[in-house]
Amino acid sequence: MWANRFVRRACAAENPRFSSHTAEDEQNVRGTRNGRACRSRQRDGVAAVEFAVTLPIVTLLVLGAIEIADMVFLRESLATASYEGARVGAKYDSQSSDVIAATMNLLTVRDVKNPTVTVNPADVSTAEKGELVTITVSAPCDDNSVLPLEYLTGQTMTFQATMVRE
């Protein structure tokens, strides 16, 4: 407050608008913060309106980001599980039950709900050396969503991995 009065007095000689400084102006300066009028009560209403306008938008963005991150995690879980299943299925002494067990184990650890695992050929033990083994893993997006948002309602995410039998 004292700095503002000092600046006004110092500038009075240089600037004519400061030269008309009166006692009433001095009284007004004392009732201010840093020479500015206290407008905090007037700003409270503006801040509340700004908050009310931006809160739904920010909330929607945050919930959308959570939903997208959850679907990316689901996709990566399906990709990892199908790769691990194909790796087990590519071994020369593997069975289809081993492939499904390895795939389901990884999906259970990652908390994927209602997955479906398909092995091609259906009986991996009959596949010849050099033949392709394909594992397809899918899961519904509705069951694996953290939030009940409707971005991916009714859709199923699928991933497959193929390896050559040893």
Residue-range domain boundaries for the chain:
70-164
CA dist., res. 100 & res. 72, Å (int) = 23
Q: Concatenated DSSP letters for 20-87? A: T--HHHHHHHHTSBTTB---HHHHHHHHHHHHHHHHHHHHHHHHHHHHHHHHHHHHHHHHHHHHHHHH
Question: Which CATH architecture group holds 70-164?
Answer: 2-Layer Sandwich (3.30)
pTM of the model: 0.69
pLDDT digits (tens, 9 = 90+) for 81-138: 999 999 999 998 889 999 999 999 999 999 999 999 999 998 888 888 889 999 999 9
